[in-house]
Amino acid sequence: MQDAFTFIISALLDLYVVVLLLRLVLGLQRVDFRNPLAQAILKATNPLVLPARRLIPATGRLDTATLVVLLLVQVLGTGLLASIACLGPVLPGQLMVLGLLRLVHLALRTCFLLTLVYVISSWVSPGGYNPASAMLAAIVEPLLAPFRRLIPTLGPLDLSPVFAMLAIEFFNRLIPSGFALAGLACVPF
C-alpha cells in the first residue's frame, strides 16, 4: 500500500515539476505565450509563481521566481517522499542533494521524451502547423542545434536527434539513481 501511495505522490510531483520546467524553458526561449498549451502551463503554475515573482525579480531572460519555485517544489516534494519511504529522519543536506539529483534526472528524461515526440511528429505531419508542434519545436530545436552543426545531414535524413538522445541518455546514466539514491535519504538508527 505504501508503494502505491508513494508512486502517486511521486508521479504528481514529477508532473508538476515538469510543468514548472516547461514554464522556465518557454520563458528562456521567448515562446509566444498566446499558444494554448503555453496558456495551460501558465495557469497551472501561476498560483505559486506569481506570489514568488513579487519577491524575486527576473534576471535578464531567466525567470528566477519560476526557478526558485521549481527548486522549492522539488526539494519539499523529495522531503515528503523521503519521509514516507524512510524510517528515520532525513538530513537537510541529503535532502538537497537528493532533490537536485531527482530534478536533473527528470529534466533529462523530459528532454529525451520531448525530442522523441518531436521526431515522431515530424514524420506524421511534416511541415504542418499546430500549437503543440510549434511549442515543441521551440523547446527541442535549441537542443538539436549543436548536433546539427557537428553532424552533416544525409540527404533528407537528419541524424541530429539520434545523437542528441544518445547524449541525453549518456548524461542521465552518469548521475546516480535508484538504489544509489535510496541510501542518501535515510539515516540509519
Instruction: State mean pLDDT over 11-22.
Output: 94
- The tens digit of pLDDT for each residue in 51-85 reads 999 998 888 888 899 999 999 999 999 888 888 87
d(CA 144, CA 166): 12
The reported pLDDT for the residue numbered 88 is 62
> What are the cell numbers at 68?
526558485
Distance CA 174, CA 86 (A): 25
Structure confidence at residue 34 (pLDDT): 84
Residue bearing cell 508521479: 11
Beta bridge partners of 62: 59
Q: Is the pLDDT of residue 179 over 50?
A: no
Name the CA radius of gyration of the chain, rounded. 19
Mean pLDDT on 82-91: 73
Supply the mean pLDDT for the chain.
85
CB 165 within 8 A of CB 112: yes
What's the confidence (pLDDT) of residue 178? Answer: 56
CA dihedral 44, 48, 52, 53 (to 10 degrees): 20
